[in-house]
Amino acid sequence: MKTAYSENCVKINIRNGESGLSPREKVMRFAIVNARSVNNKTAILVDHILEEKIDICVVTETWLKDVDSVSIVALSPPGYYFKHFSRKSDRKGGGTGVLYNEIVKIKFVDGEEKRSFEFSEWNCKIVNHTVKLIAVYRPPYSLAHAVTSNMFFEEFTSFLENVVMCPEILLITGDFNFHMD
């Protein structure tokens, strides 16, 4: 099964000049995880990142607050960093984060909880490329979050109008909670 449409992919050689690396180690490796709280999953998440040599992992539904320093430190093994954007409202859950290899330089740009989704925006400097990474989490429809798909499409379209013309390579990823049967 084909997992990527190669015409949409940008090849970034991240380890120029290093000899003895396999082709797999020369390619930037991305991942996305919906954690439904990283507080009780830090070890398994970090083990997976290290085992698979992931360079950038977007995490949705971190459920982290700024006071969760133990989990934040646990998500930063040697050679990696973890940054996050917490949900600012009183609603439970949410939050997005980025766990990344030290070869990547990441800077927080913006983040917001809109009515139908939340996002965090990061500029990732990778060798001589800048990637604008946008992590999105859209909660599913529920009695507690009675926001329709149509409302999301309107709000997200408006959001996209402000970011799609950026000069950087644009990567939008996350959990949109659309189930395709």
In angstroms, the Cα distances linking 118 to 44, 88, 106, 137, 155 are 25, 10, 19, 5, 11
In this predicted structure, what is the pLDDT of residue 2? Answer: 40
Q: Does 18 map to a domain?
A: no
pLDDT band at 21 (very low <50, low <70, confident <90, very high): very low
- CATH number where 103 lies: 3.60.10.10
- 151-160, long-range: CB < 8 A, 24+ apart: 151/115, 151/116, 152/116, 152/117, 155/114, 155/115, 155/116, 155/117, 156/116, 156/117, 159/114, 159/119
- Provide the pLDDT for residue 19: 39
48 in any annotated domain: yes
pTM of the model: 0.86
Confidence at residue 89, expressed as pLDDT on a 0 to 100 scale:
85
Residues ≥6 apart with Cβ < 8 Å to 72: 64, 82, 84
Say if 58 falls within a structural domain: yes
Count how many domains the chain has: 1
- The residue-averaged pLDDT of 101-112 equals 96
> Is residue 140, in this structure, part of any structural domain at all?
yes
Residue 81 has what DSSP assignment? E
Residue 79, in any domain of the structure = yes
Task: Give residue 172's pLDDT band: very low, low, confident or very high (50, 70, 90).
Answer: very high
Judge whether 23 lies within some domain: no
**Is residue 2 a part of any domain in this protein?**
no
Radius of gyration of the chain (CA): 17
With H, G, I as helix, E, B as strand and everything else as coil, classify residue 169: strand
Domain holding 67, by residue range, is 28-175
Lowest mean pLDDT among 9-13, 16-20, 37-41, 80-84: 16-20
